[in-house]
Amino acid sequence: MNFLPHTESDKREMLNVIGLKSADDLFKDIPLNLRPKSFDLPQGKSELEVVKYLKTLAARNATHLTNFVGGGFYDHYIPAAVDALSSKPEFYTAYTPYQPECSQGWLQAIYEYQTIISELTGLDVSNASLYDGGTALYEALMMAVRLTGRKKVIVDSGVSLIYRTMLYTYTSNLSIEFIETPVVHGQSCREDIYKNLDDKTAAVIVQNPNFFGAVDDFSDIVEAAHKKGALAIASVYPVSLGILKSPGEMGFDIATGEGQSLGIPLSFGGPYLGFIAVKKEHLRQMPGRIVGETVDKDGKRGFVLTLQAREQHIRRERATSNICSNEALCALRALIYTSLLGKAGFQELAKLNYQKAEFAKERLEKVPGVKVKRSSPTFNEFTLELSKNADKVVSQMIAKGFACGFPLGRFYKGLDNYLLVAVTEKRTKEEIINFAKSLEAALCS
């Protein structure tokens, strides 16, 4: 469909019909001092000047560093096909493509995306996506609050501090009681969780792998939660689901997470992709858009937005959430990415990540001043204890060409010498060896 702007005579005709002299008359109710004629903006720049300026800004990014930083957002390889296909104008420029009569392509894509999330997490149903892993976790929390009618929530401190902060911020005007339970030797402390778990608990929230990179089987915690009538929520790393036991298999009611690893670039913080999957019985409390499969009047298979009574444009006060949008383009990229890999490819991807991380651990263990924390199994991310302040090491390593990891002291008290290192399939053997060498030099000086 072509875009044609209004001509001057179109405008005059329209104004005539409604009996106005100029478009300015439409704004008469707004006081003159709130309709300034200029906004202290700089003069416009030419295309050449703008490109030059943006390039200068972009040049300030340290994109030359070899990336060993994770912390929830990972440097995975994105095949060219993901950009190529998602850039097709029918996908790229469509806005809110939810009228079924002219958006079957988009609706099917979202439906397929939902299916993939459901398969990866091992849970029955998923939605058309949310904004990011943090808001997805918040939505899961609110689902549990609505479903149980309870207001107490246990949050494991292995859940990323970024996500925990978001939970507290979003619920700051609700009287939700949060209890943070500690991580001991990298593992969720069951004792503390069970101590606080009672019939006032709405949910228990954990992260797998947790922020320290540690992997766990939470089936026992899930069972304990269910015994008390609470829901179990897991925030998960999708690529890890290529080899790890899925949240569905562990019995979780809701799984959420950050889909950035599925074909979305790091992009200095966004846009990212929140996913959520739930057990069938919780479907009606799941927020966001859902695409469903149906048949048209000729009996042919088709796709539509469904169960819209959950949403705020249908039932304002009783809506499950105020979200009325999704990350369609990012979800599309995730779909293309996982489809390209296929089941086998996805498993191979996960294995590669795991193996390279294990190689890195071994190599780093040999570096004087480095202790690899081995109290728990890990996926592609692990914790090192260094002989020096981790922030200082990070600065030194930047000079050597490495984004060497995340200093855990920034999120956890007393862990100033701890460094979180991630190794994805993109890291070559050479890079890992050089990383270890440079780390050794940095720790010596």
- Which residues sit at the interface with other proteins, rule CB under 8 A? 28, 31-44
What's the closest the beta carbon of residue 8 comes to other proteins, in angstroms?
15
CB of 38 to other proteins, least distance (A): 4
The enclosing H or E element of 168 equals: helix 161-170
79 Cβ contact partners less than 8 Å away, ≥ 6 residues apart? 263, 337, 340
Q: Please state the closest distance from residue 29 (CB atom) to other proteins, in A.
A: 10
Is the Cβ of residue 19 or residue 36 nearer to other proteins in the bound state? 36
Burial letters for 78-117: b for 16+ Cβ neighbours within 10 Å, e otherwise?
beeebeebbeeeebeebeebbebeebbebbbbbbbbbebb
Question: Closer to other proteins at the Cβ: 37 or 300?
Answer: 37
Shortest reach from residue 19's CB to other proteins, in Å: 17
Amino acid at 244: L
CB 252 within 8 A of CB 416: no
**Closer Cβ to other proteins, 41 or 344, answer by number:** 41
Q: Is 429 in contact with 440 (CB distance < 8 Å)?
A: no
Which residue, 40 or 317, is less far from other proteins as judged by CB? 40
Least gap, CB of 37 to other proteins (angstroms):
4
Burial of 49 (0-12, 13-18, 19+ CB in 10 A): exposed
State the minimum distance, in angstroms, from the CB of residue 28 to other proteins.
8
Least CB distance from residue 21 to other proteins, whole Å? 11
Instruction: Let me know if 25 is exposed, middle or buried by CB neighbors in 10 A (0-12, 13-18, 19+).
Output: exposed
188: number of Cβ within 10 Å = 26
Q: Which CB, 30 or 344, lies closer to other proteins?
A: 30
- Least CB distance from residue 40 to other proteins, whole Å? 4
Q: Are 193 and 221 in contact (CB under 8 A)?
A: yes
Task: Give me 377's structure tokens.
Answer: 């199994």
Among positive and negative, which fits the CA dihedral 414, 440, 65, 339? negative
Q: Which residues contact 441 (CB under 8 A, 6 or more apart)?
A: 400
Spatial distance between the Cα atoms of 180 and 154, rounded to a whole number of angstroms: 6
C-beta of 29 vs 101, nearer to other proteins:
29
User: Closer to other proteins at the Cβ: 6 or 45?
Assistant: 45
| Nearest-approach distance from CB 27 to other proteins, in angstroms | 10
Return the number of the residue (47 or 101) whose C-beta is nearest other proteins.
47
Quick one: 42 or 299, whose CB is closer to other proteins? 42
